[in-house]
Amino acid sequence: MSRLPRTYDPPVKLTPKQANIYCWGFQPEARFRDAVCGRRFGKTFLGKAEMRRAARLAAEWGVSVEDEIWYGAPTFKQAKRVFWRRLKQAIPEAWRAARPNETECSITLKSGHIMRVVGLDNYDNLRGSGLFFVLVDEWADCPWAAWEEVLRPMLSTCQYTIPQTGESRKGGHALRIGTPKGFNHCYDTYRDGQPGGEPDHKSWQYTSLQGGNVPADELDAARRKMDPRTFRQEYEAGFENYAGVVYYTFDRAECRTSERIKPGEAIHIGMDFNVMKMAAVVYVVRDGLPLALDEFHSVRDTPEMIEKIKVRFSGHSVSVYPDASGQNTSSKNASESDLSLLKKAGFTVVVDSQNPGVKDRINAVNAMFLNTYGERRMKVNIDQCPQLTQCLERQTYTDKGEPDKDPKKGHDHMNDAAGYFIAKRFPIKTQSAGTRRIGGLA
């Protein structure tokens, strides 16, 4: 495989922060890089430099021509609009084997390698080749499944040798870059690259000002016209609960507690029934206010849930506040059979004849996290309740204005479980439905 010819095209100029991200590229300890950046940081200029280098290294390191080089964005239309013209600018004509393919948005290099601009919305159509390098733009807006099911496996088969040292390496490289959007997968992969995270990940968080492309007076003008939360997210690259989040009053810093359940303390469990996906949030009440201090998630069925509760909370009195919908015999809904099993286990079961309204339950939970007086009356041990924390931060409303219950995301079960207890014990308005209290422990 021949090297690409030497070119005298001027290199892409990078600011110091862009260069810091760039210089860690293709290092074993930074195989997966995540750059969380404010708007106008200069991601596109960095992307041009990254793609140009990947093309050169693929030829120099003897990477198979089956392992391609990609730029990916949330949609193909967006990818083409943002980067196709810039990719053609970044790759010298002397490196190209033929004219760029304007239909597929691809460039074939003289080394035989192919560079593409792709959209990640229809990610199933991308399977087939391997990958040496992928640059994922607007990472927070891309589907996680595109990475987990397609891109990550495609990076696994790449093999090459560093000619200067003779070192053989396996696995392609990735740079995921973008502005945050709440606490979604962008936050997770950023955390993987921080100290104490994954050994082959590295991440950065830079504001728009640090990018060196937006003057301070322009940022001041934006600050005057934007609400604080949006400004922090868009220009300061802050992880915020963004507009559209169902439980928008939850803040992991403000609502956090380190309290733990004490021996023999009475516990209250909100429970949601779903086959293979049962969820429960464990509360205690102190000084008249709730603390969410433990959780169960992805439990098979009611008998398994009962066994887990008994093992973990032996010696505690247990009150369960379950989903009341339906009279189905499966664990999908709180059938009489499920309630009877909880009763026979010795639990006190507190359930109305019907569930509270969805909006009433959501409003009750939001009000406990933050009311109009600025009081945060409910706290969560986020270390003991990582699933609840994640679901509170990530469940959003659909286009129809309803809480998203997409089974692929699975953010609803834990939130529903948390809400049944709160809506019963701390309702915003008085419930008129009759309450059934099924005997057990007092």
C-alpha pair distances (Å), 231 with each of 108, 183, 220, 396: 41, 16, 10, 20
Least reliable range by pLDDT among 122-126, 256-260, 350-354, 428-432: 428-432
Confidence label for 209 from pLDDT (cuts 50, 70 and 90) = confident
* CA distances from residue 183 to 96, 258, 392 in whole angstroms, order as listed: 41, 21, 10
3-class DSSP assignment, residue 149 = helix
CA distance 219 to 210: 12
b/e string for 74-97 if b means 16 or more Cβ within 10 A?
bbbebbbebbbebbbebbeeebbe
- How much is the pLDDT for 79? 95
d(CA 206, CA 209): 8
Give the model confidence (pLDDT) of 30-71 as tens digits: 999 999 999 888 888 899 999 999 999 999 999 999 999 999
- How far apart (Å, rounded) are the C-alpha atoms in residues 76 and 137? 12
With a cut of 60, say whether residue 139 has pLDDT above it: yes
Q: Per the confidence metrics, is the pTM higher than 0.75?
A: no
Q: Residue 329: its pLDDT value, please?
A: 45
Cβ-contact 437, 348 below 8 angstroms: yes
Residue 374: how many other CB atoms lie within 10 Å: 6
What stretches of 200-288 adopt beta strand conformation (E)?
201-206, 267-272, 278-286
Tens-place pLDDT, residues 153-204: 999 999 999 988 888 999 999 999 999 888 889 999 999 999 999 999 999 9
Using CA atoms, how far residue 150 sits from 28, 72, 129, 193, 324, in Å, is 21, 12, 10, 21, 40
